[in-house]
Amino acid sequence: MSIAHIIAEETQYSNVKLPLSKLKTALTHIERLMAEHYEWLALVFSTNAHATKFFADMARAEREHERLVELGFRLAGERLDLTVCVDVLDLRDTFAEVSRFRSITPRPTLKEALDFSRDLEKHAAEEHLGTALASVDPSLSDLIQRLGSDDLHHAKALRTFGEHHRPEAHIALSVN
Question: What is the contact surface with Fe ion in residues (CB under 5 A)?
Answer: 31, 62, 65
89 with 7: CB under 8 angstroms?
A: no
- Closest to Fe ion by CB, 107 or 152: 152
| Shortest spacing between CB 8 and Fe ion, in angstroms | 24
The Cα–Cα gap between 34 and 51 comes to 16
Residue nearest to Fe ion (CB): 65
- Closest to Fe ion by CB, 17 or 153: 153
The Cα–Cα gap between 13 and 20 comes to 18
| Shortest spacing between CB 173 and Fe ion, in angstroms | 25
113 with 38: CB under 8 angstroms?
A: no
- Closest to Fe ion by CB, 48 or 94: 94
| Shortest spacing between CB 53 and Fe ion, in angstroms | 19
The Cα–Cα gap between 45 and 51 comes to 6
| Shortest spacing between CB 86 and Fe ion, in angstroms | 16
- Closest to Fe ion by CB, 7 or 59: 59
In whole angstroms, how far apart are CA 170 and each of 60, 92, 108? 23, 32, 11
